[in-house]
Amino acid sequence: MTATRMRLTPPLAWLRSAFFLCLALASCWALAQKIDDIPPAVKNNVPPNFMFMIDNSGSMSNIVPASPYVSSATYLNNCPGGTRIAAGSSVDIKVVGGTPRFVVSGSTYRHTTVTGTEPGRCFDNNSSYDARLLADTVSGSNRVPGTYLDSQYTGHFLNWYFGDYGGGALTGWSDRKLVGSGAVQNRIEIARTSAKSVVDSLPLPPSAGASAAVRVGLATYVSGTGGLLKIAMGDLTTASRTTVKTSIDTLVPSGNTPLASTFADIGRYLSTGYTGTVTTANGSVDLDALLKLDGTDASPARNACLSGAPSCTSAASAKPIQYWCQRSSLFALTDGRPQHDRVFNNNTHIRDYDKDCSGANASTCVSSGATGSWDRKTARTYESQGSDYMDDVAKALFDTDLRPDLTKPAPIAPAVAAKNNITTYMIGFADPTVQNDALLINTATQGGGKFIAATDGPTLVDAFQNIISDALAKDAAAAAVAVTNAQITAGSVGYASSYNSGTWYGDLEAYSLDLSTGLQTGATQWSARDKLNTQTAASRKIASWNGTAGAAFSTANGTAFRAATAALSDGIINYTRGDRTGEGTTYRLRTYLLGDIINAEPVVVNYASGAVVYQAANDGMLHAIDGRVEAAATTRGQELWAYVPQLVHAKLPGRASTSFDHEYLVDSTPATAEITGAGAMTHILVGGLGKGGAGYYALDITSGTAANEAAAVSKVKWEFKPTNMGYSFGIPLVVNTAAGWRVVVTSGLRNDTAAGGLGGDGRGHIWVLNPSTGAIEKEFITPAGYGSTSAALGLAHLGKLANVAANSVVRYVYGGDLLGNLWRIDLDAATLSAPVRIAAVSAPDGSYQPITVPPVVGPVSGSTTKAYVYFGTGQYFSTEDVPGTASPNSFATQTQTFYGIVDDTSVASPSMPNIRGTNGATCPTGGGTGDLVCQSATQASANAPYTATHHSVDLATKRGFYMDVPVANGRVNNQAALTTKGTLVFVVNKPSNLVCNPGGSSYLFQLNASTGGAVEKTLGGGLYYDAGTVLADALSSRPILITTGAGTRGVLRFSDKTTQSREIYETATTAALFRRIYKRALN
């Protein structure tokens, strides 16, 4: 269903009257609002290219020392000198009549623990041997190794391999040792199984017809002379995933290890579509000349290109790199160093590209870096026909834009230049010589990637997951930044959350703040993502709600949980706790345990023992994280305890499913407050779910820690899900009222019965709850006609007046809805009273403007009954809200507005203001004829700052101000902020469906809170600051205001995971008349 609301055509007065009349029957204008399960900004991402290069050289025939072999076990206590094979000997398996034998120096032996007629021999446990343990070739009536290279093994392993150990039979051998579970595996078998498992774990398109999440290709070696394309780079779908895995199964060991030439072939294949000059770190050169193979090692001279690929120079060939921002990564698995790989001896562009054998470095190379010595280093070990070119090729591929013809559109703000290069990741597998090889490590480092060693199947899967996670990391987007206090002092710490849409994990990072800017200084102090991965499922303290009380989220309470959610099996409970058993088979394989964090900001509470950060995430939990950064705090960055609302239990099986599609679970910022009158509870946390579902949960956070899981359970107070509750997007208000402390929540979004709704009457509901029990103290409901079962009103967010003291009594709160209505709620009124509608806002064409942010409420100077209510309009819930998409709704291009509306609470039923008068889309000199003064902002040229009018606002005759957003298709979808000196600060986001753009662009505006016009530099001076500025080619969070020694700064977090600090303009000599209303830590 397309979320489209009817537009009106001014300036005909009768149409305006019809508009206001129709608001009494709101459903005649509205269709149910669509809310996507995937952030719209992510849909602009292009899938990265992942080229898997899996070693199929002969040495991949070697057996892997893996389970059931145990390196710490005792298999043979003593091997006497007379029967001991000399250390360093070459050992070959020989299967004689199905029984294990081995050959050393031409003689055949049996192990001393095995019966037979051959001489018995054993191995020194502490010595190393060169052995070939797979009998892959028939020799007469026996089986022996073929032509593959041997590998190094310990005598301890060889005693196990040839001895009577492992639980397998000593007869019936075919080509290798039998064990209780079958037979041992060789490297290629483990590589195939692990690679297929990893391919299975890669994300598929989120829905039928959706764009791919990743693109995958497969390469290997061909006849030991270069690279072979097995699977062309393409979108990973259910069908193509099967094709890739089938191709992986066809890999068989043979030949040499031509790593450098294969990397060059892969680089030229990925650059298909471009011929000509490229710019390298060493100057400009023709691309084919840069990667040319010169014919050494008995291979013909040729231009690089994968064998089996279409022509790398033909414009008609399929192009692996499709967009200017598309990242390409090479995942190379090798069990050996380069061999038969000296094909760049005469290529002066590449043979010493990294200059590690040039100039002062020449002395570290064989023959001072002479070409005939193939760039070899005196301190490194090489194979007989090996070379040192691999790191040179990797660096060249990383340095060079391989598709310079794919150009980036001109940015609206300075941006880092993009290039279509290749990041190289190396996995050194199984063979001891590659576990810490300097050339392999240097190749990954110079190639911009990582090197990881793997010894068996599980560590190989982990290695693949690690490098894939690293390659996906730049997909991360960010939520707002939170600071520990408003006044930055030495040692101040910032916390920022983010998410990765590749495999849908999140992170919360802590960092020190620069005292002058509020930006990060120094390295990240900790990552909650990494910390949580080290915590075992059994050690975590996780609570939930069983329908009547708190309960440990464990299988011990599974029966009680399943009374409400039958699909919540013990396996799902354990998976949610962090048990990795069954991942990749029964359950979805997770890169990290911490779920994606999209709309939930971190909330910091300061205790005497230190800070605790409360972070909601879409793994279904609220996490309490130790916010300390001091080295003495041994649990810094660790999860102290967590809470899984019963409200999301039904979604947990889907999150664990191997056919997982992203869904929100706990995706709303919680509120925290210090309260009284609630018994032993002095601090409370109340949170919603966002698109995760309907309802709110409450926790006693008087203490931020939990000694055990029972202590975590004791924190659970209540869950609240009444009839007529929609998606709980709003941050609860925890306020001190005339009747005591209360929690105030709304019905949120989609409390209707249309497709995608959660059920309900569609009207706006406000509930006032007892903080200790969650019992309803009062309920307020919008009048009939404002919301319906077919289209919910969408009253989600509330704001309250900023008071001098946090415990001051609050009477009035304000909220807006999707139909542009602004409501006043009197918390002292009788239950079931209707909220008072104080304004209805509309665009210049008369169509109503959705309010999707909490209002900011400030005082009106000189009045005890009036309040200024500030808010902007516009929505960003789905791709339908984005201009240029297939089915945009009317709000994608609607003119949005920022308002400051004065409410006189002494008037029980105020008249509705005629906001624009006859202004329409214009803003006449002096502010126009409406009840609100019009201000306007303009640019002198594209990307220039915005200057604004500064008309006076006489509240004796006017009821506030408005400014139409001067950015075409821009909207205010984040809460504004207010400084102590009366500057309003808000962000305008302009969503885009432009491929490669991280959601759109953003702009920062600063207005005088009393007039809505430009901020005067000095009171009465007549000079004004710019009102707006371009921020970034990315969407922005709400501004977080901090005070530094140099004044007020606004810290903003962007959808490309960057952060900016901007000066906030305030009028000099202005007294502090306004209180900050953004969230800050409790002290």
Least confident of 307-321, 356-370, 933-947: 356-370
- Residue 294 confidence (pLDDT): 85
pLDDT band at 479 (very low <50, low <70, confident <90, very high): low
- Residue 580 confidence (pLDDT): 95
What is the pTM assigned to this prediction? 0.87
State the chain's mean pLDDT as an integer. Answer: 91
pLDDT tens per residue, range 429-478: 999 999 999 999 999 999 999 999 999 999 999 999 899 988 887 655 55
Nearest to 768 by CA among 816, 729, 806, 720: 720
Number of alpha carbons in the 13 Å side-chain half-sphere of residue 825: 31
- Residue 121 confidence (pLDDT): 99
- 267's enclosing H/E stretch is helix 259-270
Q: CB 311: neighbour CB atoms within 10 A? A: 11
pLDDT tens per residue, range 522-570: 999 999 999 999 999 999 999 999 999 999 999 999 999 999 999 999 9
Nearest to 214 by CA among 197, 227, 226, 199: 199
> In whole angstroms, what separates CA 581 from the centre of its chain?
24
- Residue 234 confidence (pLDDT): 98
Q: DSSP for 25-78, please give it.
A: TGGGT--PPP--SS-GGGGG--PPEEEEEE--SGGGGSBP--TT--TTS-S-S-
pLDDT tens per residue, range 576-593: 999 999 988 899 988 899
Nearest to 849 by CA among 1009, 940, 711, 970: 970
pLDDT of residue 488 exceeding 70: no
Query: E strands of 340-492, at which residues?
Result: 422-429, 448-454, 477-483
DSSP-derived 3-state class of residue 265? helix
Which comes out higher in pLDDT, residue 343 or 696? 696
Q: How far is CA 688 from CA 358, 453, 733, in A?
A: 62, 43, 11
User: How far apart (Å, rounded) are the C-alpha atoms in residues 163 and 165?
Assistant: 6
Rounded (10°) angle between helices 390-399 and 259-270: 20
- Residue 276 confidence (pLDDT): 97
User: How far apart (Å, rounded) are the C-alpha atoms in residues 976 and 1041?
Assistant: 10
User: How far apart (Å, rounded) are the C-alpha atoms in residues 895 and 914?
Assistant: 18
Q: Side chain identity at 865, as an amino acid letter?
A: T
- Show the tokens assigned to 41: 């900004």
Tell me the percentage of the chain whose pLDDT exceeds 90. Answer: 79
Q: CB 809: neighbour CB atoms within 10 A? A: 14
pLDDT of residue 159 exceeding 70: yes
- Residue 3 confidence (pLDDT): 35
Least confident of 221-235, 934-948, 1034-1048: 1034-1048
Q: How far is CA 202 from CA 55, 299, 314, 457, 502, in A?
A: 21, 37, 31, 18, 8
pLDDT of residue 382 exceeding 60: yes
User: How far apart (Å, rounded) are the C-alpha atoms in residues 486 and 1039?
Assistant: 13
Q: CB 1076: neighbour CB atoms within 10 A? A: 16
pLDDT of residue 484 exceeding 60: no
Least confident of 361-365, 452-456, 883-887, 1016-1020: 361-365
Q: CB 385: neighbour CB atoms within 10 A? A: 18
- Residue 201 confidence (pLDDT): 86
| pLDDT mean over 588-600 | 93
Pairing of strands 550-552, 542-545: antiparallel
- Residue 553 confidence (pLDDT): 99
- Residue 413 confidence (pLDDT): 67
Which one-letter DSSP state was computed for residue 910? Answer: P
- Residue 608 confidence (pLDDT): 94
Most confident of 480-489, 496-505, 660-669: 660-669
- Residue 485 confidence (pLDDT): 39
pLDDT tens per residue, range 604-629: 999 999 999 999 999 999 999 999 99
- Residue 7 confidence (pLDDT): 30
- Show the tokens assigned to 467: 């490098």
Q: What share of the chain is helix, strand, coil (3-state, %, to 5)?
A: 15, 30, 55
Q: How far is CA 978 from CA 167, 411, 700, 807, in A?
A: 73, 30, 30, 20
- Show the tokens assigned to 401: 């834009």
pLDDT band at 1071 (very low <50, low <70, confident <90, very high): low
Q: CB 359: neighbour CB atoms within 10 A? A: 9
User: How far apart (Å, rounded) are the C-alpha atoms in residues 135 and 142?
Assistant: 9
Least confident of 209-223, 261-275, 946-960: 209-223
Q: DSSP for 312-340, please give it.
A: SS-TTS--S--STT--EEEEEEESS--BS
Q: In the sheet where 946-948 sits, what is the strand order? A: 937-939, 946-948, 1028-1032, 1000-1008, 983-991, 977-978
Per the DSSP assignment, residues forming a β-bridge with 859 are: 867
pLDDT band at 359 (very low <50, low <70, confident <90, very high): confident
Angle at 944 between CA 938 and CA 950, to 5 degrees: 35
| pLDDT mean over 1048-1075 | 83
User: How far apart (Å, rounded) are the C-alpha atoms in residues 311 and 277?
Assistant: 18
User: How far apart (Å, rounded) are the C-alpha atoms in residues 296 and 14?
Assistant: 86
CB 619 within 8 A of CB 662: no
Q: CB 1061: neighbour CB atoms within 10 A? A: 20
- Show the tokens assigned to 1026: 């710019």
- Residue 367 confidence (pLDDT): 72
- Residue 918 confidence (pLDDT): 97
pLDDT tens per residue, range 318-348: 999 999 989 999 999 999 999 888 889 889 9
- Per-residue HEC secondary structure of 678-718 comes to CCCCCEEEEECCHHHCECEEEEECCCCCCCCHHHHHCCEEE
User: How far apart (Å, rounded) are the C-alpha atoms in residues 241 and 487?
Assistant: 53
- Residue 589 confidence (pLDDT): 87
Which one-letter DSSP state was computed for residue 546? Answer: -
User: How far apart (Å, rounded) are the C-alpha atoms in residues 841 and 912?
Assistant: 10
Q: CB 3: neighbour CB atoms within 10 A? A: 23
CB 594 within 8 A of CB 507: yes
